[in-house]
Each structure stands twice: as structure tokens, then as C-alpha cells.
Amino acid sequence: MRILVVEDDLRLAAMLQEALTARQYVVELAADGEVAWDWVQVEEFDLIVLDVTLPKLDGIGFAQRLRSHHYSLPVLMLTARDTLLDKIAGLDAGADDYLVKPFEMPELMARVRALLRRGSTPESA
């Protein structure tokens, strides 16, 4: 399974990459929304873990662009923005799940597994 982590905090991005890689996921990193958009157009991912506050193209704009181009892969927003309106904006922009920082790694991994289960389809017999 391939996961794109879009996070401008390099320390957190490295921590996420390490934790996901340890669980046998293939992880690519992008530090801003435009780089992430470039990745999505040339590579196939099973899940995107997306920060909201990003340079160049923020997470809300990225999610809206992703959905307007008919990408259906699951998106987990991972952000410090914790108000009800922030959560609604993220979900309405196209996120499938929304997790507020700080977070516990076991919860993040459970959400990743749940989204990947939802996104998978049975193989043809």
C-alpha cells in the first residue's frame, strides 16, 4: 500500500514516514500542496495523510482540487486546527477523516487501517 504524507513539519513528516514504513507501507513525502499535487498526477496512492496548514497550496485547497479532478482515494486530514468549523471545512473539502494534533500514533494507525479497508475492493475471481 502506498501512502502520500503531505506535511511541512519535517520532524513530524519523518516520524510519520518511519511509523508507516515500519508497518510495511510505502511512503512518499511532500512538504507543500503543489508538490503533493504533482505526486498525485504521476503516481498511484492508496491513501493521503494531509496537513491543512501548508505552503503554496493548503490542505483544504488540495482536497478540493483532488475531488474536483475526480480522485476518490481516501484522505486523512491531520492538523492542529481543532474547531468545529475547521473540522466541517476539512470534511466538506473532501477529507474522509479528520484527526487533530497532537495525536497518539496508535489512533492514527487505526484510522489509516480503517480508511485503507474502506478504499479496497475485492479482487475479481
Question: What was the pLDDT predicted at 69?
Answer: 97
- Ramachandran quadrant class, 70 (left: phi over 0; alpha: psi -120 to 50; beta: rest): left
Q: Does residue 104 lie in a domain region?
A: yes
Query: Could you tell me if residue 40 is inside a domain?
Result: yes
> Which CATH number belongs to the domain containing residue 33 in this structure?
3.40.50.2300
Q: Would you state the pLDDT for residue 99?
A: 98
Question: What is the reported pLDDT for 105?
Answer: 96
**76 domain-assigned:** yes
How many beta carbons lie within 10 A of that of residue 35, not counting itself? Answer: 19
pLDDT digits (tens), the chain, 125 positions: 999 999 999 999 999 999 999 999 999 999 999 999 999 999 999 999 999 999 999 999 999 999 999 999 999 999 999 999 999 999 999 999 999 999 999 999 999 999 999 865 544 44
pLDDT value of position 125? 40
List of residues 6+ apart from 119 with CB closer than 8 A: 46, 47, 73, 74
For residue 124, tell me if it sits in a domain.
no
Distance CA 80, CA 2 (A): 24
